[in-house]
Structure 1
Amino acid sequence: MTTTTDPSGRALRPPRAGRSNGQWAVDGTAPLNANEEWKQEDGGLNVRERIEQVYSKEGFASIPPQDLSGRFRWWGLYTQRKPGIDGGRTAQLDDTELSDEYFMLRVRLDGGALTLHQLRVLADISHEFARGTADISDRQNIQYHWIRVEDVPEIWRRLEEVGLQTTEACGDTPRVVLGSPLAGIAADEIIDPTPTIDEITRRFVGDPELANLPRKFKSAITGHPSLDVVHEINDVSLVGVVHPELGAGYDLWVGGGLSTAPRLAERIGVFVAPERAADVWLGVISIFRDYGYRRMRTKARLKFLMAEWGPEKFRQVLETEYLDAPLPDGPPPAPATGPGDHVGVHLQKDGNHYVGAAPVVGRISADVLTGLADLMAAAGTDRVRLTPHQKLVVLDVAPDRLDDLVAGLEALGLSVTPGPFRRHTMACTGIEYCKLAIVETKATAATAVAELERRLADVTASLDSPITLNVNGCPNSCARIQVADIGLKGQLVTVDGEQRPGFQVHLGGGLASADRGEAGLGRTVRGLKVTADELPDLVERLVRRFLDQREGGETFAGWAHRVDEEALR
């Protein structure tokens, strides 16, 4: 199911006819706003030399605003939020007033893949330069906080020495390529996406020709039948399928994205052979570069172009202007075969096992990274992968090492058998570090998880399918609130004349899974808001009401869309 509406039901209309949208292939490359001007004057990739040669030596005060708030993002750096600024002031202050003299640094992990040696390097960087911080994001990245510009060159040196990078981890660029955590190891895998992910990363990350896009560009590739890379909400996704005549390859999806105007990706209807996959990816991102809207940043994502063109025109432009030959028609992916987070102990195709573990809402630390590395060394494995669900998966565990590894993970706070709410709750960074946030998220979500596991222990066995809970600190949906069973958008809530941290509630969203079938966006209920303190009460009430009112094998999402608004309050 797809949609071309925003959360209020308004259609995503293309800009007015006759007015330049800033599409390079239509209107020329003359910049139409300040953001486009500075990107053309000096590209974001060029700031690295200044960071290494000037800013790291002369300190934070030497960084000019356009580099600090703009070009630094091309290298994974955002200034973090100054402590003590409450959410009511987020929209009142400009970036310089909100920014601290420390950075969030995002390490891109294409496909989520890490070796044991790389994991130790990440742990050491966290210990030495990031005050022990490290989060697993829902983009398979590692994010640090409290990074000083003086330390950035040394961090880059250590990362690049082991094959890691922060290049284009943020900014108007091709960001990290999500990949199946089970690539190459699962017995039921349709196709291994690793060669395609590696080719895209090698050929195109850091390429100046693709380093000035209208906005960010998100990619996902999987060959696993669990559909484990949230393909419906990426700008481009390649999903493993078997063509009846051509064998294993990919189905192409384009134009997904959430934020304040959510839209699910659409199938283009073509079959992509593995040897053409990287070139098809290049064709899609090139269309975005050349035809994407640049006049207004609020309309600059690929989903807005797809809303105007539709899949038929997109395919026609892709095949005639960007590829050397047409693509054959192809089948859609089969329904998901199981959970895409891969939590638990599972058999690999080689007789070893992979072990998926859940931290609490993606929050880990230097000590956890070090402990995980020690456990992997003791288990004799060299590989771990992060997931798009804020989880991690240890690969290649021999049967006689499983018990010790599982016990060690549990002791680290990485549960292999988490309760349903710990397993299915995600949270963004929130007001602790993010300049866009209005409310705190990580601790709020962790508290809610603990409360819900306790309060709903009597009905957990009655939940035939998981209920996902996604907590976001602002309207931008980094935690994917519109595609959760219960999605919470951070805002201030007025109670007895006093503003308090709280959330607007979205209900009944979800991505394709074995439990719910098709993806769909959640609904909002007029006036349904909750304070952070009341969050466990709301979720408990909704879950119990769902269990009382569901019909047959109805899912929570199905119930939430079926019942009237009063049942959801």
Structure 2
Amino acid sequence: MTDTGTTTKTSLNKFEKFKAEKDGLAVKAEIEKFAALGWEAMDETDRDHRLKWVGVFFRPVTPGKFMMRLRMPNGILTSDQMRVLAEVLQRYGDDGSADITTRQNIQLRGIRIEDLPDIFNKFQNVGLTSVQSGMDNVRNITGDPVAGLDADELFDTRDLVQQIQDMLTNKGEGNPEFTNLPRKFNIAITGGRDNSVHAEINDLAFVPAFKEAGEQGSRGVGEEYLSQTSARKFGFNILVGGFFSAKRCDAAIPLNAWVAPEDVVAVCRAVLEVFRDNGSRANRLKSRLMWLIDEWGIDKLRAEVEQRLGKSFLPAAPKDEIDWEKRDHIGVYKQKQPGMNYVGFHIPVGRLYADDMFEIARLAEVYGSGEIRLTVEQNIIIPNISDGSLPTFLAEPLLQRFSINPGTLERSLVSCTGAQFCNFALIETKNRALATIQALEADLTFTQPVRIHWTGCPNSCGQPQVADIGLMGTKARKDGKAVEGVDIYMGGKVGKEAHLGTCAIKGIPCEDLQPVLQDILIKNFGAKLKQEALVEV
């Protein structure tokens, strides 16, 4: 068991107690046994909790059918990997589906416990892993979805993200050093100018910033790197503490620290060690990194991390380089590689089925280099399509369903899993979100994009606080009865000067939501009724 600092055993919450009894990663060696036993005969703690350490999630709303969450650093996978995921889902017919998550990741649904040994073998053969993707672990590490493709990027994040993944997971085999954090932990690294990873909602984020050689001051992390030349050097300012939970939502704050790219992995390790050994293990509602910052103050956190590193940080650069509005990468774009293009297409609410995935794998191989990328908006990019192949690619039937030019509202629509598959959700989200957007687009014309995010409960997996309009599932009252409803958040901003929105309207019944949203879109976002727009013309 990892050292948990000064917390006494009597003050441990129930999750810490079962982790003390048996490390979550131990179930990795028991998959064959679980498959033979069947889900109903398993130890409940193994089934309901410890399986999450290998990315397998019991869902009470679909008993006997599990969810699997992969790790896909920087949101990148190959056509072979996509095809294997499709083969796994194909076995489960109508019960099998996949969701692209808001962390550039894929979750599979409909999985049966007896198939886990075969599934894990298939994953291993193509370099996929689901290890440490749930519970008190570092979740999928996000990076720029067009890293290495974008001529305007400041730094290609792909290799750094992979190095961090390898450090955390022992190259996918599992790493007990980091399998017992006080709570889950999110890391993001952006090397572009538009904050495509939503750095502000991560526990630890690295944002691009240049440092002048004369700024280094006392010796610290990156000082040798700066001294190599008199020119300014690229590195990252560090943000810490961002998170969403049912109890509290906070944007990340500056650590007042700048690091060179070669120090990023070591800084990740140091921050995680400090959190692991000092974060609260008594109250899970107060166990994320920001709660430790509240207790210590930012200066003490920085000092503790410096002690782990064995050297001091250089002060943060005066400004970061996030100076563009957020891009969604949907459409056709020139790459930095001459004659090559990447194409982003919209996956409505991120939902995929086996046939879709087989076809995406085929398109990536036939027209590109076999590479597929995911975005935090739950969409897909296929890169490395030549100018000559582009017209034929754009004529492919799949792009009729997964459009490169979707409607104004549909384009930016994001949704969590919802009550269809998630026992935490208070409302159904994905299907309702699509139906609502389609109805609004049928009635309105728009002069600007509007980002609408749905989440089924206060855990905020759909990130309503970063949206122009965020919808959070709740129970509302109508005619004296409890019905499915939403709280409406407004004012979230992404890209430069990102900040979180706040709750503006509470308890709107879902059946009454469309006219409320229509009114908000007209009054706040310049939308017009189509009949009025025709009259003006």
| TM-score of the two chains, using structure 2 as the length reference | 0.89
**Alignment check: 8 A CA contact 1:223 1:241 kept:** no
Counterparts of residues 124-143 of structure 1 (less than 5 Å): 124-129=87-92, 131-143=95-107
Distance 1:494 1:229, change over 3 A: same
Residue 499 of structure 1: SS of its match in structure 2?
strand
Match of 2:145 among 181, 202, 205: 181
Distance 1:547 1:228, change over 3 A: closer
Match of 1:62 among 22, 41, 53: 41
Counterparts of residues 413-492 of structure 1 (less than 5 Å): 413-457=401-445, 460=446, 462-463=447-448, 466-492=449-475
How far does residue 29 in structure 1 lie from its aligned partner after superposition? 6.7
Counterparts of residues 105-144 of structure 1 (less than 5 Å): 105-129=68-92, 131-144=95-108
The answer to which of 330-339 and 493-502 deviates more is: 330-339
How far does residue 155 in structure 1 lie from its aligned partner after superposition? 0.8
Alpha-carbon distance between aligned partners in 1 of 2:525 and 2:427, rounded to the nearest angstrom: 30
Residue 525 of structure 1: SS of its match in structure 2?
strand
**Alignment check: 8 A CA contact 2:371 2:382 kept:** yes
CA offsets 1:416-452 (integer angstroms, 9 cap, x no match): 1112211111110000010111110000001012112
Confirm or deny that 1:38 pairs with 2:18: yes
**Aligned AA (1:502):** G
Q: In the alignment, what sits opposite 1:234?
A: 202
**Aligned AA (1:40):** A
Counterparts of residues 88-103 of structure 1 (less than 5 Å): 100-103=63-66
Alpha-carbon distance between aligned partners in 2 of 1:244 and 1:170, rounded to the nearest angstrom: 40
The answer to which of 359-368 and 517-526 deviates more is: 517-526
Alpha-carbon distance between aligned partners in 2 of 1:530 and 1:116, rounded to the nearest angstrom: 43
Residue 349 of structure 1: SS of its match in structure 2?
coil
CA offsets 1:211-250 (integer angstroms, 9 cap, x no match): 1010111111121111111110011111222223331222
**Alignment check: 8 A CA contact 1:484 1:507 kept:** yes
Confirm or deny that 1:47 pairs with 2:47: no
How far does residue 302 in structure 1 lie from its aligned partner after superposition? 0.9
Match of 1:272 among 256, 259, 262: 259
Confirm or deny that 1:500 pairs with 2:483: yes
How far does residue 298 in structure 1 lie from its aligned partner after superposition? 0.6
Alpha-carbon distance between aligned partners in 1 of 2:201 and 2:265, rounded to the nearest angstrom: 20
Distance 1:518 1:391, change over 3 A: same
Match of 2:312 among 323, 326, 348: 326
Counterparts of residues 333-372 of structure 1 (less than 5 Å): 333-351=320-338, 352-372=340-360
Residue 518 of structure 1: SS of its match in structure 2?
coil
How far does residue 378 in structure 1 lie from its aligned partner after superposition? 2.2
Q: In the alignment, what sits opposite 2:136?
A: 172
Residue 384 of structure 2: SS of its match in structure 1?
strand
Q: In the alignment, what sits opposite 1:221?
A: 189
CA offsets 1:18-77 (integer angstroms, 9 cap, x no match): xxxx9933446776222111112210000122222x110121122111111110111111
Alpha-carbon distance between aligned partners in 2 of 1:482 and 1:339, rounded to the nearest angstrom: 15
The answer to which of 125-134 and 535-544 deviates more is: 125-134
Distance 1:424 1:158, change over 3 A: same
Instruction: Please list every run of 5 or more consecutive structure 1 residues that lacks an aligned counterpart in the other structure.
Output: 1-21, 84-99, 550-569
Distance 1:57 1:24, change over 3 A: closer
Counterparts of residues 524-563 of structure 1 (less than 5 Å): 524-525=503-504, 528-547=506-525
Alpha-carbon distance between aligned partners in 2 of 1:536 and 1:138, rounded to the nearest angstrom: 25
CA offsets 1:352-411 (integer angstroms, 9 cap, x no match): 111111111111111111111122222142111101111111111111112222332654
**Alignment check: 8 A CA contact 2:96 2:111 kept:** no
How far does residue 500 in structure 1 lie from its aligned partner after superposition? 1.8
Q: In the alignment, what sits opposite 2:240?
A: 254
The alignment's C-alpha RMSD in Å is: 1.9
Q: In the alignment, what sits opposite 1:510?
A: 493
CA offsets 1:138-165 (integer angstroms, 9 cap, x no match): 1111111111100111111111111110
Identity %: 34
| TM-score of the two chains, using structure 1 as the length reference | 0.84
Alpha-carbon distance between aligned partners in 2 of 1:28 and 1:193, rounded to the nearest angstrom: 40
Instruction: Please list every run of 5 or more consecutive structure 2 residues that lacks an aligned counterpart in the other structure.
Output: 214-225, 227-232, 528-537
How far does residue 338 in structure 1 lie from its aligned partner after superposition? 3.7
